[in-house]
Amino acid sequence: MKACLLHSIAPIEQNPLELIEAPTPQPGKNQILVKVGVCGVCRTDLHVIEGELAPQVLPIIPGHQIIGRVERIGEGAPRLKVGDRVGVPWLHRTDGVCEFCRAGQENLCEHATFTGWLVNGGYAEYAVAQADFVYPIPEVFNDEEAAPLLCAGIIGFRSMRLSGITGPSPGKRLGIYGFGAAAHIAIQVARHWGVDVYAFSRDERHRRFACDLGAVWAGGSDDDPSVKLDSAIIFAPAGGLVISALKVLKKGGCVALGGIHMSQIPPIDYNLLYHERVLRSVANNTRQDGLDFLRVAAEIPIKAQTQIFDLAEANAALNALKHDAVRGAAVLQI
């Protein structure tokens, strides 16, 4: 099969992904082989490639927003049939027995493995997945629309829930910092729930994009929206934004950090946090988050805006992502 392989970490500007012929993997027990149709490109892929996420396995095939069809079924994976369309997400598998799994927090599992970081992912013609960890994809979405839902969408949804917006909340104000793939989906859920979205981005194109999608206000990260916000989500990986977000947060409000990596957070004046403001990170997601999000996404239905690249252009897609040049989500067509 054709696959984009990362041999060693390097800045994406050096085009470190190499398109090669690799052996097609075979599904083991409770696994399926998926023929990849498309694979979404996520900022986490960039963190894996550039080494902000310490490499655990090299070489590795990145990619964790896979939409494809079941090609082969391994022993003991009866829930699926050959030809079924599935989504393969970041959470490859959990142990199911640690204290976090038993407490319904499998996103924090002590022995979780992750697609495209600890096991090969979807920048390839085929990928192996755990049968119990793939999602059925609602009919209303075609492959390219569905791919960004799997990480950008689900993590954005969990971030919104953890920021305090858990359902319809007319008149609540949500700040979103960084207006890439996750934000452009999260805003659609927020508006569906009657929430007013305030978009903060360093990039003028992204501010316009946010307004096109219904943001009531858009500005730079330190601009003052002249109202206080109930909740904020920071998707951009810049620690300084924590201070910016706390400055415009209401008493009792919450800032959720949606990224897996962030540059150092500057010292926080206690007055910014006092009055029960909450600052919290978001780590991975549970399978239930994914199911809940896909149900809401199909109800709306979410329209993901995508920019399509060929598999051979994976380096170019990631370069564009790094430099804010993607409107919506980048997706590789396999």
Cα(67)–Cα(193) distance, integer angstroms? 27
Helix axes of 287-299 and 152-162: crossing angle, nearest 10 degrees: 100
Is 101 a binder of Zn ion (CB under 5 A)? yes
Spatial neighbors of 269 by CB under 8 A, at least 6 apart, are: none
Q: How far is the CB of 325 from Zn ion (least distance, A)?
A: 18
Q: Which of 161, 154, 229 shows the shortest CA–CA distance to 185?
A: 154
Comparing CB distances to Zn ion, the nearer of 94 and 231 is 94
Is 95 a binder of Zn ion (CB under 5 A)? yes
Binding residue count for Zn ion, defined by CB under 5 A? 8
Is 118 a binder of Zn ion (CB under 5 A)? no
Q: How far is the CB of 171 from Zn ion (least distance, A)?
A: 31
Is 149 a binder of Zn ion (CB under 5 A)? no
Cα(273)–Cα(278) distance, integer angstroms? 7
Q: How far is the CB of 271 from Zn ion (least distance, A)?
A: 34
Tokens of 110: 């002590």
Q: Print the binding letters for residues 40-59 with Zn ion: x by CB under 5 A, - otherwise.
A: --x-x---------------
Comparing CB distances to Zn ion, the nearer of 44 and 163 is 44
Is 210 a binder of Zn ion (CB under 5 A)? no
Distances (CA, A) of 112 to 98, 108, 130, 142: 10, 8, 12, 29
Q: How far is the CB of 28 from Zn ion (least distance, A)?
A: 19
Comparing CB distances to Zn ion, the nearer of 20 and 53 is 53
Comparing CB distances to Zn ion, the nearer of 13 and 95 is 95
Residue of 66, 151, 229, 279 that binds Zn ion (CB under 5 A): 151
Cα(290)–Cα(131) distance, integer angstroms? 15
Cα(152)–Cα(282) distance, integer angstroms? 13
Q: How far is the CB of 149 from Zn ion (least distance, A)?
A: 11
Place of tokens 């492959």: 143
Q: How far is the CB of 204 from Zn ion (least distance, A)?
A: 25
Is 94 a binder of Zn ion (CB under 5 A)? yes
Q: How far is the CB of 173 from Zn ion (least distance, A)?
A: 26
Residue of 12, 61, 109, 233 that binds Zn ion (CB under 5 A): 109
Q: How far is the CB of 246 from Zn ion (least distance, A)?
A: 25
Q: Which pairs from 96-104 meet CB under 8 Å and 24+ separation?
A: 104/286, 104/288
Distances (CA, A) of 92 to 6, 103, 132, 143: 19, 19, 9, 20
Q: Which stretch binds Zn ion (CB under 5 A): 86-94, 116-124, 166-174, 251-259?
A: 86-94
Cα(144)–Cα(179) distance, integer angstroms? 19
| Phi, psi torsion values for 219, nearest 5 degrees | -160, -175
Is 159 a binder of Zn ion (CB under 5 A)? no
Is 66 a binder of Zn ion (CB under 5 A)? no
Is 279 a binder of Zn ion (CB under 5 A)? no
Q: Which stretch binds Zn ion (CB under 5 A): 97-105, 172-180, 228-236, 318-326?
A: 97-105
User: Which stretches of the chain bind Zn ion, using CB under 5 A?
Assistant: 42, 44, 94-95, 98, 101, 109, 151
